[in-house]
Amino acid sequence: GAVVSQHPSWVICKSGTSVKIECRSLDFQATTMFWYRQFPKQSLMLMATSNEGSKATYEQGVEKDKFLINHASLTLSTLTVTSAHPEDSSFYICSANAAGKIYEQYFGPGTRLTVT
Amino acid sequence: AQRVTQPEKLLSVFKGAPVELKCNYSYSGSPELFWYVQYSRQRLQLLLRHISRESIKGFTADLNKGETSFHLKKPFAQEEDSAMYYCALSIQGAQKLVFGQGTRLTINP
């Protein structure tokens, strides 16, 4: 149980376009979802926390107009990278908390974004 | 500010040898600490958390508040333990995790 999926697993887009990444909890309801960014050989950096039906809380230094997060249901959160640039190329990972297990996060497999 | 430090980026030991991955934290509140593991080409997964005091795959970790440490230990390393290990701190009430830089553990045959 407690599986989190991400789609797509990898995407290449041109500079200036927008890209949407989906994060789904497959067999549980996720009260909270988290979006991380991971640079090569570096740790995960939390970008934002989203709760179903409310606005995401962004970490300091993360542009909320650049990285749009929507958490429309208890099983789906989306991250849209708007007007992508090469420096946005990275590995984006989502995670989710199950109801009643606020300190245990289940991670998705990640999405590799390459902006050309 | 909350911070998690893993001083070793790389750690290599021989099979059967003891392993210790170091983790130190900085947090003014009551910490919740975790170890996550990422095997090659797999997603990040929870290995253990201090509050459960479990031993998972032979690994244990004890929270030492005096030294603000949460080192991960295993008495006899196995080749399948080769992976990336992340120590993480959960900020009380905020649910979010602060990760250390990670330690890549390689077990040599």
**In A, which residues are within 8 Å of B51 by CB distance?**
103
H/E stretch holding A73: strand A67-73
Nearest by CB: A46 against B32, B51, B96: B96
- Nearest by CB to residue A103, choosing from B45, B90, B102, is B90
Quote the CA–CA distance of A79 and B61 in Å, as a whole number: 34
Q: What is the pLDDT of residue B92?
A: 67
Contact indicator for B25, B41 with CB cutoff of 8 Å: no
Q: How confident is the model at residue A26 (pLDDT cuts 50, 70, 90)?
A: very high
pLDDT at position B54 is 78
Instruction: State the smallest CA–CA distance between residue A108 and chain B in angstroms.
Output: 6
Contact A39, A113 (CB under 8 A): no
Q: Helix, strand, coil proportions of chain B in percent (round to 5)? A: 5, 50, 50
Residues of A with CB under 8 A from a CB of B: 4, 32, 34, 42-46, 49, 93, 95, 97, 102-105, 107-110
Residue A1 CA, distance from chain mean position:
20
CB pair distance less than 8 Å for B86 and A43: yes
Cis ω on the peptide bond leading into residue A8 (within 30° of 0)?
yes
Question: Are the C-beta atoms of B73 and B60 separated by less than 8 Å?
Answer: yes
Q: Is some CB atom of chain A closer than 8 A to the CB atom of B91?
A: no
Q: Could you identify the residue written with the tokens 């149980």?
A: A1
Beta bridge partners of B52: none
The pLDDT of residue B75 is above 80? yes
Q: Number of CB pairs < 8 Å for A and B?
A: 44
Residues B48 and B61 sit within 8 Å (Cβ to Cβ): yes
Q: What is the pLDDT of residue A115?
A: 96
Q: Which of A91-95, A111-115, B23-27, B96-100 has the lowest mean pLDDT?
A: B96-100
Give pLDDT tens digits for B55-65. 789 999 989 99
Could you say which of B49, B95, B99 has the minimum Cβ distance to residue A44? Answer: B99
Strand segments, DSSP code E, in chain B are: 3-5, 10-14, 19-21, 24-26, 32-38, 45-49, 60-61, 72-74, 83-90, 97-99, 103-108
**How would residue A34 be classed by pLDDT, with cut points 50, 70 and 90?**
very high
CA-based nearest distance B53→chain A, Å = 15
